[in-house]
């Protein structure tokens, strides 16, 4: 019975968090809130039924750099085109499938390989000054993959080693190429939020 209550609590919290994101950002998305709530690697496989798939990721480090600028989520969503080339959609489906396979096989190197994107990144990278230089610096320092965190301006790299060197390279690249200070930290995939009580 307790397990059933816990599942129901998470479903309610997922719905409430999605509603909150809609108020703040203008539209309801469950990919970010599901990851924060459930932890690990999550896929919202059906927006209508709020079906969340959970996979246990292999151990790796996530190196995050947050430049001292602001990017509104609403603006980052508005910058995306209403129509996209079919080839780009097909490419992204391939990468997403490869990412799931890599996580199931616990292959961190492949996870980094599949972190590319043709649907949002080509448009949102312009919102992060020196994005290309920061990415190149991270990869040269040993990152296995690099991308923008959601709507930005945070960027992140995936690594199994050299995390401190990658962090310094990203911060230095923001400073030297865009004149921006950047907060940075190293973390690991989380376990998700803990539901204490809804009463």
What gap in Å lies between CA 64 and CA 159, rounded to an integer?
A: 11
21 is catalytic: yes
**What is the CB neighbour count within 10 angstroms for residue 56?**
11
What gap in Å lies between CA 5 and CA 7, rounded to an integer?
A: 5
Set 15, 72, 73, 113: catalytic member: 73
22 is catalytic: no
The CATH number, out of the four listed (3.30.70.890, 3.40.720.10, 3.40.50.720, 3.40.50.1820), of the domain defined by the range 57-187: 3.30.70.890
Largest CA distance in the chain: 57
Strands of the sheet containing 145-148, edge to edge, are 145-148, 155-159, 61-67, 182-187
pLDDT tens-digit series, residues 70-98: 888 778 888 888 898 999 999 999 999 99
- Chain CA centroid to CA 90, Å: 20
Enumerate residues 6+ apart whose C-beta is below 8 A from 139.
146, 157
pLDDT tens-digit series, residues 121-166: 999 999 999 999 999 999 999 999 999 988 889 999 999 999 999 9
pTM, rounded to two decimals? 0.83
Measured distance between the N- and C-terminal CA atoms of the chain, rounded to whole angstroms: 17
**What is the CB neighbour count within 10 angstroms for residue 173?**
25
Asked whether the predicted pLDDT for residue 2 surpasses 60, the reply is: no
pLDDT at 197: 57
Q: What HEC string does the chain produce?
A: CHHHHHHHHHHHHHHHHHHHHHHHHCCCCCHHHHHHHHCCEEEEEECCCCEEEEECCCCCEEEEEEECCCCCHHHHHHCCCCCCCHHHHHHHHHHHHHHHHHHHCCCHHHHHHCCCCCCCHHHHHHHCCCHHHHHHHHHHCCCCEEEECCCCCCEEEEECCCHHHHHHHHHHHHHHHHCCCEEEEEECCCCCCCCCCCC
pLDDT tens-digit series, residues 15-48: 787 787 777 766 677 777 888 888 888 888 777 7
């Amino acid at each position: 019975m307790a397990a059933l209550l816990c599942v129901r609590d998470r479903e309610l919290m997922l719905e409430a968090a999605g509603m909150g994101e809609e108020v703040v950002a203008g539209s309801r998305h469950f990919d970010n809130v599901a990851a924060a709530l459930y932890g690990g690697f999550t896929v919202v496989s059906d927006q209508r039924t709020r079906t969340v798939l959970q996979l246990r990721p292999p151990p790796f480090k996530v190196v995050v750099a947050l430049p001292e600028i602001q990017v509104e989520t609403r603006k980052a969503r508005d910058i995306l085109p209403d129509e996209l080339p079919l080839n780009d959609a097909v490419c992204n489906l391939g990468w997403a499938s490869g990412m799931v396979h890599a996580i199931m096989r616990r292959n961190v190197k492949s996870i980094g390989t599949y972190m590319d994107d043709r649907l949002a990144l080509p448009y949102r990278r312009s919102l992060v000054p020196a994005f290309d230089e920061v990415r190149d610096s991270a990869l040269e320092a040993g990152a296995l993959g690099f991308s923008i965190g959601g709507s930005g301006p945070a960027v992140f790299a995936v690594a199994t080693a050299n995390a401190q060197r990658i962090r310094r390279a990203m911060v230095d690249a923001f400073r030297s190429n865009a004149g921006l200070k950047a907060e940075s930290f190293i973390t690991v995939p989380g376990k998700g939020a803990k539901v204490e009580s809804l009463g």
